[in-house]
């Protein structure tokens, strides 16, 4: 029974794989290092982090031949 539960909980979809791989993207890693400010607070660094992760995920999905979910590119809200 335990084996069945473990296999059901493993999220190994292409989307999940690409989201994990996005953390290794050079731009995302640069933001995590703090090169662009404090990404843990609402502001430009956090906005850049979310955008960079999304772009890296989309690039990974496209490399696998899969279209990203949704049909419209998300709007980047202005950060003041």
15-54: pLDDT as tens digits: 899 999 999 999 899 888 877 777 778 778 888 889 999 9
Is 7 within a domain?
no
| Number of domains forming the structure of the chain | 1
For the entire predicted model, the pTM comes to 0.70
Considering the domain boundaries, does residue 71 fall inside one?
no
**Helix locations, the chain, DSSP H:** 2-9, 14-22, 26-33, 44-63
- Tell me how far apart the alpha carbons of residues 9 and 76 are, in angstroms, rounded to a whole number: 33
Provide the pLDDT for residue 4: 46
Q: Which domain holds residue 56?
A: 13-63
What pLDDT score does 43 carry? 79
């Amino acid at each position: 029974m335990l084996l069945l539960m473990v296999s059901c909980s493993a999220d190994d979809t292409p989307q999940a794989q690409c989201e994990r791989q996005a953390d290794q993207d050079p731009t995302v890693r640069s933001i995590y290092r703090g090169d662009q400010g404090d990404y843990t607070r609402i502001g430009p660094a956090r906005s850049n982090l979310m955008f960079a992760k999304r772009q890296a995920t989309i690039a990974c999905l496209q490399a696998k031949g899969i279209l990203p979910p949704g049909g419209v590119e998300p709007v980047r809200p202005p950060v003041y």
